Amino acid sequence: MSQLATWFEEAIIGCCQLRLVHVKTLLSQYDLGMTNSVPYSILDISPIPQGFTASDALRNSLDVARHAEQWGYTRYWVAEHHNMTGNASSATAVLIGYIAAGTKSIQVGSGGIMLPNHAPLVIAEQFGTLASLFPGRIDLGLGRAPGTDQITARALRRDLLGGDDRFPQDVRELQHYFGPIQEGQAVKAIPGAGTEVPIWILGSSLYGAQLAAHFGLPYAFASHFAPEQLIDAMQTYRNLFKPSDKFASPYAAFVMNVVAADTDEEAQYLFTTLQQNVIRMRRNTRGQLPPPITDLDDFCEPYEKAAAAHALQCSAVGSLGTIKKEMQRWMDLTGANEVIVTGQIFDHAARLKSFEIAAQAAQGLHLKLSV
């Protein structure tokens, strides 16, 4: 080989090595950025404010979802509740279809479907239909509570066959329906078979954490109304997690209330709507979403206010800086992979603004790399 050819070869190798180092550096920066980025999502119950209708609430939910898509939210979940005059999300699968049809790319799903209320085959067909209409955009979060009172649970006609003790078997049955059709399979979900709809386990206790870990599924904790076991559940989930064909490592999210405004004082005023709601639930005097009030002390006794504060401790209320600080604090406490925000605010415009500020706060969050 000539000296000139040798020189060219060495030059090419050197450039390639330099390029490789540069690429590795970029990849490491990309990985670091991806490691520290925090997906943020919304949980909605389609609240019906006083003086408005279910139609208003459902249209508001679609409007929030469309804005959420623009603001970078990862997913938009709606929750199944029944016999509640202040919630319009009872026909959850129907509402998911409405929101998915009115948006373009955001994940849409359930947070969650209360599985004891339904036969797994029906859910498989409903969500198989949604997944067929909106490929790659549908999530199925599953809960084991009825999402209502016992009288209404019986009216849903699942009391003879369903129950908490069948929840693990029902989850497995759903997974079976969403998988490929097996030779000799007698009952098939059409649509549904082969869609592999992503399943999440939802919970507010250690039970859901243990089940999600055992099945190797993602887990979301309902800390927006039941925060007591949040930290223990997250740790239990990570410690017991068994890799599955869907998830090689644990993936956890938690739900927190967020009420954001231009100032801390304005946000605290808006927050009184949710505080009233929680107090009324404990009084068993539920109703439509009330407007905010100037002085919560005029509405309730001190012990009621304290009980509401305990139930709503996983909340961020304030301006952008306050929201970001509180979000990061809860991310660090939980070691979660994703934050899901929910906000029951009386005025729709104020609710939109709150979710916009929440998105701005979430964009500056970072994951706790070791827990």
pLDDT tens-digit readout, 29-46: 333 333 448 999 999 999
Do strands 107-114 and 138-143 pair parallel, antiparallel, or not at all (unpaired)?
A: parallel
Residue 200 · residue 250 · CB < 8 Å = no
Residue 346: per-residue pLDDT:
98
Q: Report d(CA 42, CA 156) in Å as an integer.
A: 27
Residue 368: per-residue pLDDT:
66
Answer with the residue of higher pLDDT: 130 or 246: 130
Cβ atoms within 10 Å of 319's Cβ, excluding its own? 17
b/e sequence 19-31, b meaning 16+ C-beta within 10 Å = eeeeeeeeeeeee
Instruction: State what percent of residues in the chain have pLDDT above 90.
Output: 80
Q: Report d(CA 289, CA 348) in Å as an integer.
A: 12
Element (H, E) at 141: strand 138-143
Cβ atoms within 10 Å of 347's Cβ, excluding its own? 14
pLDDT tens-digit readout, 143-202: 987 656 677 767 776 554 444 578 999 999 999 999 999 999 999 999 999 999 999 999
Check pLDDT > 70 for residue 51. Answer: yes
pTM of the model as a whole: 0.87
Contacts of 178 (CB under 8 A, 6+ apart): 124, 127, 128, 189, 192, 193, 194, 195, 196, 197, 199
pLDDT tens-digit readout, 278-334: 999 999 998 999 999 999 999 999 999 999 999 999 999 999 999 999 999 999 999
